[in-house]
Amino acid sequence: MEKKNSFVLYTDYRRQFDLLTDAELGQLIRAVMDYVETGQPPDLPAGPQMAFAFISAQIDRDMKKYQEVVEKRRAAGSAGGKQKASNAKQNIASVANANTCKQTLHDNDHVNENDIKKKDTKVSKEKSFIPPSVENVREYCQEGGYRVDAECFVDFYASKGWMVGKTKMKDWKAAVRNWARNNRGDGQACKKASAADRYNHGIMKTEVDMDSLERELLGG
């Protein structure tokens, strides 16, 4: 039994206390404290002894409850300690597995890094081109002083799927400059482009070689 250095003094004891003289009450209190500390019943006169029997019975019940609480806490602490140890082992294993997995991923990333960069670069280039509108071309020509019919330019390359030869156009502004440089805005490019556009829409039956037409338009 774990030693307890305190006890509860209930107000119900007042009835027994009132039956005792001050001297007997002093003997009772001292006997109760000795009992709590040592567990040994005292040798008291009849009056204080009767009161002690009543009080000690309550002290025994309180002590029993106290010991039950102590045992439950001890059991819970032991179980918690075991669980903490188990969790610690599991955490160590998880960290080890995570490090192994991370290293494997790192190795794989290192091996495939160049391939990924190449794919990303290729996709980025493919997605970077956005066909201009007629208004985009017109504004660019006005800013740069290029004599280019914006509608003809857009219609021509739209009919070709914005292809330059067999290659997807990457810089429409460069195409505008080449168009202006090689055709000098004399209207011939517009006529040729319009003919090609009408052919693509089924209006003309005369065969038109789009690649040859483009080379002619761009002075290739």
Which range of residues forms the domain containing residue 27?
1-128
First to last CA, the chain: 107
Q: Would you place residue 15 in the very low, low, confident or very high pLDDT band (cuts 50, 70, 90)?
A: confident
Over 90: is that where the pLDDT of 150 sits?
Answer: yes
Over 90: is that where the pLDDT of 122 sits?
Answer: no
Furthest-apart CA atoms within the chain: distance in Å? 138
**Residue where a domain stops, chosen among 75, 110, 128:** 128
**Over the stretch 164-178, which tens digit does the pLDDT of each residue have?**
888 999 999 999 999
Which pLDDT score, from 0 to 100, does residue 145 have?
92
Q: Average pLDDT, stretch 62-81?
A: 86
**Over the stretch 53-68, which tens digit does the pLDDT of each residue have?**
989 999 899 889 888 9
Residues 44 and 100 in one domain: yes
DSSP string, 17-59: HHTS-HHHHHHHHHHHHHHHHH-PPP---HHHHHHHHHHHHHH
**Residue where a domain stops, chosen among 128, 153, 177:** 128
Number of domains in the chain: 2
Contact 169, 176 (CB under 8 A): no
Q: Average pLDDT, stretch 148-173?
A: 92
**Residue where a domain stops, chosen among 90, 108, 128:** 128
Residues 73 and 163 in one domain: no
Residues 85 and 176 in one domain: no
Residues 148 and 122 in one domain: no
Residues 119 and 140 in one domain: no
**Over the stretch 175-206, which tens digit does the pLDDT of each residue have?**
999 999 887 544 555 655 555 554 444 444 34
Residues 117 and 152 in one domain: no
Residues 213 and 113 in one domain: no
Which pLDDT score, from 0 to 100, does residue 21 have?
93
Residues 100 and 161 in one domain: no
pTM for this entry: 0.35
Residues 149 and 89 in one domain: no
